[in-house]
């Protein structure tokens, strides 16, 4: 992540106006600059990873958020005024100009990206139970959270992912009680006490945890966000102890799409 997208922008003789539906190199640059300004996902700023050249609705949602935050009128295109505003925002966020985010923000971005990476890797393994809440891999997940055999493991799965992500980034994960590694309610209570709740859906980011709530207000299931909410209020997740139908007592690790309605979000 050592390349500075603002410098790339400044090197251009003039960035063209682009809009929703376009597919070109400047859309890639737009994605990088939105990330550099702290608006879009951190992995868009990772030059070791591919970034899409499609100006889709996800890009538009981040663009409109940037415009709203800067008091600019919302639009579906990027004009020279928007390009310059993004460059200024990026330079303000990175006064050193070396393409790196400093301090805790950098650490959080790296960890969030790693949480998503580990969750996707786990889902790709097609991990399934062998018996209700049982199986070799399920047992390892339960053990990691201090759970007994046969206990529900959706929260334990999230912690296995989070702890491994912190380990890979050579950081210490949050210290929580045993209960917060086993119970959705206990985790939300801990997050509330430690300022780890994401209060607004518009601020939810990949790497956050989504906690589902019943009509009666009780928390009952949890997963890992791997996208931001779309314009319809849906978000992509990876979850343990679910199934194709989205049960909270399923048979494995699956990628899902959930409504953000009646959900709470935790950032670890």
Q: How many residues does the chain have?
A: 268
With residue 266 as reference, give the H or E element that holds it.
Answer: strand 263-266
CA distance 183 to 186: 5
pLDDT in tens, 123-175: 999 999 999 999 999 999 999 999 999 999 999 999 999 999 999 988 888 88
CA distance 149 to 167: 25
What pLDDT band is residue 1 in, cutting at 50, 70 and 90?
Answer: very low
Cβ burial of 112 (10 Å; 0-12, 13-18, 19+) is: buried
Collapse the DSSP code of 212 into the 3-class scheme (helix H, G, I; strand E, B; otherwise coil) and give the result.
strand
Q: Between helices 103-124 and 154-168, what is the axis angle to 10°?
A: 130
What pLDDT band is residue 48 in, cutting at 50, 70 and 90?
Answer: low
pLDDT at 96 over 90: no
What pLDDT band is residue 199 in, cutting at 50, 70 and 90?
Answer: confident
Q: Name which of 161, 84, 80, 91 is nearest 119 in CA terms.
A: 161
Domains, the chain, in order of start with CATH, read 5-93 (1.10.101.10), 105-266 (3.90.1720)
Q: What is the mean pLDDT of residues 193-200?
A: 90
pLDDT at 84 over 80: yes
């Amino acid at each position: 992540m050592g390349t500075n997208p603002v410098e790339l922008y400044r090197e251009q003789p003039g960035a063209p106006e682009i809009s929703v539906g376009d597919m070109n190199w400047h859309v890639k640059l737009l994605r990088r600059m939105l990330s550099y300004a702290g608006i879009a996902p951190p992995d868009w700023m990772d030059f070791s990873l591919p970034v899409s050249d499609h100006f889709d609705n996800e890009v538009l949602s981040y663009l409109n958020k940037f415009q709203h935050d800067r008091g600019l009128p919302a639009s579906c295109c990027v004009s020279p005024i928007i390009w310059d505003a993004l460059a200024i925002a990026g330079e303000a966020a990175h006064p050193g100009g070396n393409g790196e985010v400093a301090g805790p923000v950098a650490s959080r971005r790296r960890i969030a990206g790693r949480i998503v990476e580990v969750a996707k890797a786990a889902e790709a393994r097609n991990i399934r139970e062998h018996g209700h809440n049982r199986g070799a891999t399920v047992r390892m997940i339960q053990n990691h959270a201090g759970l007994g055999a046969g206990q529900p493991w959706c929260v334990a799965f999230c912690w296995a992912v989070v702890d491994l992500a912190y380990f890979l980034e050579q950081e210490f994960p949050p210290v929580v009680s045993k209960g917060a590694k086993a119970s959705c309610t206990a985790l939300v209570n801990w997050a509330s006490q430690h300022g780890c709740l994401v209060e607004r859906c518009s601020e939810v980011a990949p790497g956050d945890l989504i906690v589902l709530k019943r009509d009666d207000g009780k928390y009952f299931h949890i997963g890992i966000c791997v996208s931001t909410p779309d314009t319809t209020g849906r978000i992509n997740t990876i979850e343990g102890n679910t199934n194709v139908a989205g049960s909270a007592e399923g048979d494995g690790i699956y990628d899902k799409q959930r409504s953000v309605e009646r959900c709470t979000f935790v950032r670890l």
